[in-house]
Amino acid sequence: MTEAQMPDEQVRGRWASDIVTELPRRISHAPLAWAERTPSATAVVDGDVVWTYADLAQAVDEMRERLRTTGVRPGDRIMVLNENCRALVATILAASEMDVWCAVVSARLSAAEIEIIAGSCQPRLMVFTTGGSPDAAGPLADGYGAERMDSPRLGEIALGPVQEQVQPEPVHHDGAEQVATLIYTSGTTGAPKGVMLTHRNMLFVAAISGGLRDLQSSDRVYGVLPISHVFGLSSMFLGTLFAGATLQLSARFDPAALAKALGNDDLTVLQGVPAMFQRLLEYLNTNALSLQAPKLRYMSVGGAPLDPAVKQRIEQAFGLKLHNGYGLTESSPTISQTRLTDPLDNTSCGPVLPLLSYRLQGYDGMPVGEGEVGELWVRGPTVMKGYYRRPDATAEVIDENGWLNTGDMARIDECGNLHIVGRTKELIIRSGFNVYPPDVEAVLTAHPEVTLSAVVGRPVEGNEEVVAYVQLAPGSTTTAEDLRAFAAERLAPYKRPSEVVLMEALPATPTGKILKGKLNDMIAAGTV
Asked whether residue 164 carries a pLDDT value surpassing 90, the answer given is yes
Query: Does residue 363 surpass a pLDDT of 80?
Result: no
State pLDDT tens for residues 224-270. Answer: 999 999 999 999 999 999 999 999 999 999 999 999 999 999 999 99
Q: What pLDDT, on a 0 to 100 scale, did the predictor assign at position 511?
A: 67
Residue 433 confidence class, pLDDT cut points 50, 70, 90: confident
pLDDT per position as a tens digit, 81-135: 999 999 999 999 999 999 999 999 999 988 888 999 999 999 999 999 999 999 8
pLDDT at position 1 is: 55
pLDDT band at 186 (very low <50, low <70, confident <90, very high): low
Nearest Cα neighbor of 361 from 328, 393, 403, 324 is 403
- Compute the residue count for the chain: 528
Max CA distance (Å), the chain: 67
- Residue 157 reports pLDDT greater than 70: yes
Percentage of the chain modeled with pLDDT above 70: 98
Average pLDDT for 333-340:
98
Which of 151-170 are b and which e, b meaning 16 or more Cβ less than 10 Å from the residue's Cβ? eebbbbbbbbeeeeeeeebe
Question: In the predicted model, is pLDDT for residue 200 greater than 70?
Answer: yes
The neighbour count for residue 395, using CB atoms within 10 Å, is 12
Residue 473 DSSP code: P
**pLDDT for position 138:** 82
Residue 188 has pLDDT above 50, yes or no: no
**For 309-331, b where at least 16 C-beta lie within 10 A, e where not — what string?**
bbbebbeebbeebbbbbbbbbbb
The Cα 479–Cα 340 span in angstroms is 40
pLDDT at 509: 79
Q: CA 446, 451, 455: angle at the middle one, nearest 5? A: 75
* Residue % of the chain over a pLDDT of 90: 84
Which residues lie below 8 Å from residue 361, measured CB to CB, with a gap of 6+?
1, 367, 368, 374, 375, 377
Output phi, psi for 214, to 5 deg: 60, 35
Give CA–CA dist 273/293, Å, rounded: 18
Go through the domains of the chain in sequence order and give each one's CATH number.
26-172 (3.40.50.980), 427-525 (3.30.300.30)
Distance of CA 323 to the CA centre of its chain: 15
Instruction: Determine which of 41-50, 297-306, 504-513 has the lowest per-residue pLDDT on average.
Output: 504-513
Q: What is the mean pLDDT of residues 2-26?
A: 97
pTM exceeding the 0.75 threshold for the entire prediction: yes
pLDDT tens readout for residues 40-65: 999 999 999 999 999 999 999 999 99
| pLDDT-based confidence at residue 366 (cuts at 50, 70, 90) | confident
What three-state secondary structure class fits 220? Answer: strand
Q: How far apart are CA 465 and CA 457, in angstroms?
A: 6
Rounding to the nearest 10 degrees, give the CA dihedral for residues 372, 376, 380, 384.
170
